[in-house]
Structure 1
Amino acid sequence: MSVQPGSGPARRADAVSRPHRVAVLVRPGVMPLELGLCHQLFGRARDTAGRAPYTVTTCAPAPGPVPTDADFTIHVAAGPEALAAADTVVVLASHAPGETEMTGTLGPDLAAAWDRVRPGARLASICTGAYVLAAAGVLDGRRATTHWNSAADLARRFPAVQVDPDVLFVDTGDVLTSAGEAAGIDLCLHLIRRDHGAAVANDVARAAVVPPYREGGQAQYIPRPAASPHGPVTASARAWALDRLDQDLSLASWAAAQAMSVRTLTRRFAQETGLSPWQWLTAQRVARARELLESTDLSVDRVAAQVGFGTAVSLRTHLHERLGVTPSAYRATFRGPAAVTS
């Protein structure tokens, strides 16, 4: 996952002036779990000064009663004016007939509401809320995901979208999409982590009694069931490497551990991730290094050793290439100058 303009430390700089406004857009057929998790996770967050960094507002294309997919209705007081004021808009799924998931288009009320979204706002979807982003043209040319059961349909309806059914969420900078309901937890924690660092996100996860990361902290990839003929061939290879980030891996040993040839491993990585094995491994090492810099007092040399870069010089080079900052500067941004160690 790469850091896009407007993400990471730069986004956090203005968070101290006022809370970041999150608008959660609901439609008929909304799933209560999705709505609740947005309020619980963003609402529980507290920055290092003990302040609530987010305000969360539920809104609908028109205020008033909104039926859920359960046996009750919710009353939504805010209309599309909340979208105009939001810094982040989270679009939830719907199972109701006539909604975008069924028609592939924005209905008149939803289209009018969507026109109120503030230019530059960060956009996110949970589950089939991705259909709304796709119908609005936001996902054209972007990688995105949705619930695995809807991925093929989303790809068919919106061929300009690069649909990836094998991930929990996709972060392309200021547009993010996630898989089914529970993946909304992964997405919200990722946003909190991106905005305010691992310590804040971990506290939120602990309070909600959920893991801060899934798959051992690597939330990006999940293998399909082994019985599926369409499962990603490199899933086990990726898991194998993630367990050995601190080791000096060779491509030959990596391939041999998966009973593959080096050529097959390289080809399948390119097909399934769009990256070479080394590009993918480097990205994982950088992601792990960022987590350690944010959440531990380990020296830069120790962090470099634990993630497999070997030396602080190598870690500095890779981090600067991807983020434009040194490890010490990155740590100071997220934890304050007192946390910086050489």
Structure 2
Amino acid sequence: MSVFRHPGRHRVAVLVRHGLLPIELGIPHRLMGRAKTAEGEPLYEVVTCTADVPAPGAVRTDADFTVNVAYGPEALEEADTVIVPAAHGSDEPHSTGALGRNLADALARIRPTARIASICTGAFVLAAAGLLDGRRATTHWVSADHFRSLFPRVRLEPDVLYVDEGDVLTSAGVASGIDLCLHMVRSDFGSQVANAVARRTVVPPQRSGGQAQFTERPVPQPDIHTTGTARAWALRHLDRPLTLRELAAQEAMSVRTFTRRFREETGLSPQRWLTQQRVERARQLLEDSGLPVDRVAADAGFGSSASLRAHFQAALGVSPSAYRRTFSVRT
């Protein structure tokens, strides 16, 4: 008997594992499950399944409740799209980069013509299955370094909200699953349907920027390195133009020696480091102050609002004004 009961609808199977994040299970059900034709007919049929055999059942979540799943891996054989959310806890793809037997067997059931997508660290499952080798992909920014160490053949893009490689798609942390599902709805049935789903869910149809704007700002650490005095001095004078010669003078070094040691200690050129610090200063001012953008640009050392916008867009993928609307504590 078929798991899917509505011929003609796009069939979506959400493959869940123990340690499931409930919010990530709800995203495809809510978004794709609410996509409808102009006449009000559902366009997708969404079911939840597990890789467990011989029978499905209660799946533990990372909260204080379980989810009772009615379908096993047989649902994957009929699916047009398979979505793999994240799971916390004991998880072989995330800890070792390898698939457990049940999960490997379940993924082998997916039809070659099916589309497969991941939410958050569900990308570890796709990578462990070899589906991302040589391809672009993303995952939660917190897990980016670990992901790279396990899967060096994947072209990780940690700053974006999602990556579409055609038959394989990946999204960044948690809520970016909303962006990914809306993108799939838009690709399948057009912007009008996707926009209607977004309005009902009270989310933007397309978010600007990438997940770089959500990463934590670096916490200053005690600095015992030989260029630490120059960096501390630079942070106190970010609002003014700073030359390499001035920085080197703080350490009584030649420009050549200072540049070499600076790169050894930070992994960056002095100019690249200064730009990063100025972006961080601008982020702080945009979040915590009501200063106009041109004043933020001056105080952060960018000189002009145009320069601030260019560097901010390059670093975070979003304009200063859009960043302030999202993160300002004054709004």
Short-chain TM bin: 0.5 to 0.7
Q: Sequence identity of aligned pairs in percent?
A: 54
| Conserved? CA contact 2:141–2:211, under 8 Å | no
Runs of 4+ with >4 A deviation: 219-222, 224-234
What is the RMSD computed on CA atoms of the aligned residues? Answer: 3.1
1:33 maps to which residue?
23
Q: How does 1:158-307 map to 2 (within 5 A)?
A: 158-215=151-208, 222-223=212-213, 227-228=217-218, 257-258=306-307
**In the alignment, structure 1 residue 72 sits paired with structure 2 residue 65:** yes
2:93 maps to which residue?
100
Secondary structure in structure 2 of the residue aligned to 1:258 = helix
Rounded to whole Å, the distance in 2 between the matches of 1:188 and 1:260 is: 29
Rounded to whole Å, the distance in 1 between the matches of 2:32 and 2:81 is: 11
Distance verdict in 2 for CA 1:91–1:231, change over 3 Å: farther
Rounded to whole Å, the distance in 1 between the matches of 2:174 and 2:57 is: 24
The amino acid that maps onto 1:64 is G
Rounded to whole Å, the distance in 2 between the matches of 1:123 and 1:232 is: 39
Gaps of 5+ in 2: 1-5, 219-272, 283-303, 318-331
Give the CA deviation at 1:211. 1.4
1:23 maps to which residue?
13
Give the CA deviation at 1:120. 1.4
Distance verdict in 2 for CA 1:226–1:46, change over 3 Å: same
| Conserved? CA contact 2:120–2:139, under 8 Å | yes
Rounded to whole Å, the distance in 1 between the matches of 2:158 and 2:179 is: 15
Q: How does 1:110-125 map to 2 (within 5 A)?
A: 110-125=103-118
TM-score (structure 1 length as normaliser): 0.61
The amino acid that maps onto 2:106 is A
1:321 maps to which residue?
none
What do residues 111-149 of structure 1 show as CA deviations (whole Å, max 9, x unaligned)?
Answer: 111111111110100000000000000000011000110
1:46 maps to which residue?
36
Give the CA deviation at 1:223. 3.4
Secondary structure in structure 1 of the residue aligned to 2:42 = coil
Secondary structure in structure 1 of the residue aligned to 2:38 = coil
Distance verdict in 2 for CA 1:257–1:225, change over 3 Å: farther
Give the CA deviation at 1:49. 3.6
Rounded to whole Å, the distance in 1 between the matches of 2:35 and 2:307 is: 41
Rounded to whole Å, the distance in 2 between the matches of 1:27 and 1:69 is: 11
Distance verdict in 2 for CA 1:48–1:162, change over 3 Å: same
| Conserved? CA contact 1:224–1:232, under 8 Å | no
Give the CA deviation at 1:222. 4.5
Give the CA deviation at 1:38. 1.1
Distance verdict in 2 for CA 1:232–1:86, change over 3 Å: farther
Distance verdict in 2 for CA 1:95–1:221, change over 3 Å: closer
Rounded to whole Å, the distance in 2 between the matches of 1:26 and 1:221 is: 24
Give the CA deviation at 1:225. 5.4
Secondary structure in structure 1 of the residue aligned to 2:196 = helix
Give the CA deviation at 1:224. 5.4
The amino acid that maps onto 1:38 is P
Secondary structure in structure 1 of the residue aligned to 2:111 = coil
1:310 maps to which residue?
none
Secondary structure in structure 1 of the residue aligned to 2:213 = coil
TM-score (structure 2 length as normaliser): 0.63
Give the CA deviation at 1:220. 5.2
Distance verdict in 2 for CA 1:122–1:231, change over 3 Å: farther
